[in-house]
């Protein structure tokens, strides 16, 4: 008890509340040491206390993901709750998800008849937001994610949001059916939920260690599982884009997809790749793209529309 008040610190409160409580505790202790001369505490002790609490505050700020169990994501009034297990989850929930994908879909209208495929769903923020927006009485969101920890988080997020219109596909999409090495990101000592940059394509700068995973081409997936054909597609597969597109030639020919957003890895200008010309041969035109800023790993998000439906 300090100054007649009992201070309690509860984890999983909003971080700013805990920081406020830390400040209150600090002020009370400093008050005791500075004002109660009879305690005979030396000045260096006061400084030591200040340093300790400053460092504790810094640690809390750096580890604030530990203070959450979940976060609410709000996009255009559509709300979902995301499980937070790591700093990567928290970053994605706090505005770190690709809004350009959803902005593109909403710009060109979404109807209850739309079917959304997300290739590289991670923990599923885009998929969940789309599922919440679309009609819930039928399957209309197909989420592909091969990384084990992300699959667990994606599954838990679907359950927590009580979404019955999402199908989780726990494998990678490619241009063939079989088994492939899947390289894990080195951004952390151990892979964590929400972490990205894992890929079938090995990049020495980003990857260390790999696991074996099943891969299927999208045309085979649709036929094998009798899935509804997509009208909206987003692809974020860390350098494997060209290969994925080759494996969906049939669905591209059928022209059910009207909006396609692709994250193109390592390139800030999609025109420097063959993707625009490849999709152009199927009747799709690139009408917009967004580049990553300088200082961030080079990539771009390219928006393609069916020339007839766009």
Is the pLDDT at 6 greater than 80, yes or no? no
Torsion 97-101-105-106 (CA) sign: positive
CA-to-CA dists, residue 185 to 123, 191, 206, 303, angstroms: 16, 7, 5, 26
Q: What pLDDT, on the 0 to 100 scale, is given for residue 54?
A: 73
Q: What is the pLDDT of residue 10?
A: 38
Could you give the maximum distance between any two Cα atoms of the chain, in Å? 86
Tokens of 60: 């809390």
Least confident of 1-5, 30-34, 146-150: 1-5
At 298 the pLDDT is: 85
* pLDDT recorded at residue 150: 95
pLDDT, average across residues 100-126: 95
Q: What is the pLDDT of residue 112?
A: 85
Output the pLDDT for position 189.
57
Which residue has better confidence, 1 or 63?
A: 63
Beta bridge partners of 166: 141
pLDDT of residue 267: 86
Q: Are 57 and 27 in contact (CB under 8 A)?
A: no
Higher pLDDT, 178 or 192: 178
Q: Of 57-66, 89-98, 221-230, 256-265, give the lowest mean pLDDT range.
A: 57-66
Q: Side by side, which strands form the sheet with 299-306?
A: 166-169, 141-144, 116-119, 232-235, 259-265, 299-306, 284-291
Per-residue pLDDT at 4: 41
Cβ atoms 181, 200 nearer than 8 A:
yes
Cα separation, 250 vs 33, in Å, equals 76
pLDDT at 41: 54
**What single string gives the DSSP state of each residue in the chain?**
-BTTB-----TTS-HHHHHHHHHHHHHHHHHHHHH-GGG---HHHHHHHHHHHHHHHHHHHHTGGGG-SEEEEEETTEEEEEE--SHHHHHIIIIIS-HHHHHHHHHT---TT--EEEES-TT-HHHHHHHHHS-SSS--EEEE---HHHHHHHHHHHHHTT-SSEEEE-SEEESSSEEEEEEEE-SSSS--TT----BSS--TTTEEEEEEEEEEEHHHHHHHTTPPPPSEEEE--TT-HHHHHHTTHHHHHHT---EEEEEEET-S-GGGSSHHHHHHTTTEEEEEEEEPPTTS--EEEEEEEETTT-
Provide the pLDDT for residue 99.
92
| pLDDT given at position 22 | 65
Beta-carbon count within 10 A of 12 CB: 11
Q: What is the pLDDT of residues 9-63, one digit of tens each?
A: 333 444 545 566 666 666 666 665 665 554 555 555 666 667 677 766 666 655 5
Q: Which tokens belong to 6? A: 């009992």
With 0.85 as the threshold, say if the pTM is over it. Answer: no
Per-residue pLDDT, averaged over 291-310, amounts to 84
Q: What is the mean pLDDT of the chain?
A: 84
């Amino acid at each position: 008890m300090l100054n007649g008040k009992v201070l309690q610190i509860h984890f999983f409160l909003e971080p700013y509340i805990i920081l406020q409580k830390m400040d209150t505790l600090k002020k009370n202790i400093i008050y005791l040491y500075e004002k109660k001369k009879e305690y005979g505490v030396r000045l260096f002790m006061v400084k030591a206390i200040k340093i300790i609490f400053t460092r504790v505050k810094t640690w809390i700020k750096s580890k604030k993901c530990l203070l959450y169990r979940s976060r609410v994501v709000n996009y255009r009034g559509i709300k979902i709750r995301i499980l937070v297990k790591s700093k990567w989850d928290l970053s994605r929930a706090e505005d770190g998800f690709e809004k350009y994908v959803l902005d593109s879909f909403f710009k060109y209208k979404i109807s209850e008849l739309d079917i959304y495929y997300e290739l590289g769903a991670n923990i599923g923020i885009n998929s969940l937001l789309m599922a919440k927006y679309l009609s819930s009485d039928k399957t209309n969101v197909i989420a592909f994610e091969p990384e084990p920890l992300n699959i667990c988080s994606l599954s838990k997020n679907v359950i927590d949001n009580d979404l019955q219109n999402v199908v989780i596909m726990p494998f990678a999409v490619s241009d063939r059916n079989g088994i492939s090495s899947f390289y894990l990101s080195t951004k952390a000592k151990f892979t964590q939920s929400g972490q990205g940059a894992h890929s079938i394509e090995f990049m020495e700068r980003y990857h260390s260690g790999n696991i074996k995973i099943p891969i299927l081409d999208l045309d085979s997936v649709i036929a094998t599982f009798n899935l509804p054909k997509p009208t909206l597609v987003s692809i974020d597969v860390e350098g494997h884009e060209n290969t994925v597109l080759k494996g969906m030639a049939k669905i591209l020919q059928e022209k059910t997809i009207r909006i396609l957003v692709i994250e193109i890895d390592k390139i800030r200008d999609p025109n420097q790749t063959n993707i625009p010309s490849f999709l152009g041969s199927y009747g799709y035109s690139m009408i917009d793209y967004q580049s990553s800023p300088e200082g961030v790993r080079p990539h771009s998000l390219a928006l393609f529309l069916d020339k007839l439906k766009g």
